[in-house]
Structure 1
């Protein structure tokens, strides 16, 4: 529904003939991909190496994600599988292709952001194949069909994915060090309780962080709080990083 609203807004605007709408996924969503992830010739963006014991060099790509380009300057039904060796023989389309394309379209003279977007394939050629914009692009899109016809069951136990979200929130609050809390997530917490917990965890982390910054703590060090700190009033002192 969100994509429909954005598309129809752009389609009805005076800027439609100057528009390229990019719809892409942040992650692959856990789905299997039969194509091996690229590991050869992929540059590390800024030569940062991860911590021990993995020492990850950020020199490989992940599982593919779909991307859709929407513009009156793109031929109908166009499918592109790769950048075809540009700008390097090993170049691939990836998220850094977006800033790389922006730089190319607008002929920006400043350096690339990192080695990665300098390497990534760009897709400006997609909007350079027509002499004039198409006029057959639909003005409206079909209304999406609801996947679920019923209201959510907030009294249900947390799914595995929901448990992971709550566990992430527990790190903000410091509860991740408590074995009893991890057990509660798995066996006792409902969907509503999980949502309420995550909202409270984020709020308490921000409050404790703001207090720490007011007290002079470097904001780069406000990354993890002890349980006793995020459960106190917002005037409490910060925890150790």
Structure 2
């Protein structure tokens, strides 16, 4: 992946007149790099032509988002089937409600142009679709209730890839001076976002030494994951 689409996080610097605030010492982050990645994946699918393996007639591409980007949603989140029974979280949240609406795009030769699905879907719809397509057991009670995405497959004859639209991504700035290289010395001290710090802290506390300091920079995070990675992502049981 060439870059992340998350807004940059770093030190806030405000201009002399109190305006023109900018983020400095930020992590590498540019939504244009994310668009470039999607363009490359879509183009690879559009040009896939293997007669026996993956190709445009037997492969679908689903683009989903886990955040709504802060855009106001005038529709209250609806109720939903909880994944399990009796589960509660902070402030008594019972996982019985969906969140804000997020976009999703399905790309398939079996989908008619300009298809828009207005029926409610949610993230478990993908799991539900894959489970039913391949005869797999559902993961949770929410998957059982989730509406599948087969209604997006609405053609009886696949569209030729020549009829698919061509995409042109935004220009991604050229890194002539190495400023965007995550391995560059200057980038090692860039600050982690609060969610990243919190996640690392929880993982370290649960699977390693609870007294270990919580990383606050990319370099510290790398050192912590390198040292404690066996406990975080692998097994500490003897072979």
TM class by shorter chain equals 0.5 to 0.7
In the other structure, the counterpart of 2:97 is 60
Counterpart of 2:117 in 1: which secondary structure? coil
1:206 lines up with 2:229 in the alignment: yes
Change in Cα spacing, 1:34 to 1:146, as seen in structure 2 (3 Å) is farther
Residue 74 of structure 1: how far off its partner (Å): 1.1
In the other structure, the counterpart of 1:2 is 37
Change in Cα spacing, 1:117 to 1:155, as seen in structure 2 (3 Å) is closer
Larger radius of gyration: 1
The 5 Å alignment of 1:47-126 reads 47-50=85-88, 54-82=91-119, 92-106=120-134, 108=135, 111-126=137-152
In the other structure, the counterpart of 1:13 is 48
Greater helix share, structure number: 1
1:193-241 deviation line (CA, Å, top 9, x unaligned)? x1101111212222456684339xxxxxxxxxxxxxxxxxxxxxxxxxx
Residue 16 of structure 1: how far off its partner (Å): 0.6
Structure 1 unaligned segments of length 5 or more: list them. 83-91, 186-193, 216-241
**Match 2:66 to one of 10, 21, 26:** 26
Counterpart of 1:69 in 2: which secondary structure? strand
State whether residues 47 and 57 of structure 1, in contact with CA within 8 Å, keep that contact through their aligned partners in structure 2: no
1:133 lines up with 2:171 in the alignment: no
| Greater RCO (CA < 8 Å, at least 6 residues apart) | 2
Change in Cα spacing, 1:118 to 1:172, as seen in structure 2 (3 Å) is closer
Structure 2 unaligned segments of length 5 or more: list them. 1-35, 50-54, 181-185
The TM-score with structure 2 as length reference comes to: 0.63
Change in Cα spacing, 1:102 to 1:212, as seen in structure 2 (3 Å) is closer
Structure-2 separation of matches of 1:122 and 1:206: 37
The number of residues matched between the two structures is 186
The TM-score with structure 1 as length reference comes to: 0.63
1:74-109 deviation line (CA, Å, top 9, x unaligned)? 111111122xxxxxxxxx311110121224445x2x
1:166-195 deviation line (CA, Å, top 9, x unaligned)? 3433444459868xx78x95xxxxxxxx11
1:120-170 deviation line (CA, Å, top 9, x unaligned)? 11121211x2231123114x5314322797834748864xx7244234334
Counterpart of 1:23 in 2: which secondary structure? strand
Structure-2 separation of matches of 1:162 and 1:81: 35
Change in Cα spacing, 1:123 to 1:154, as seen in structure 2 (3 Å) is same
Structure-2 separation of matches of 1:71 and 1:63: 26
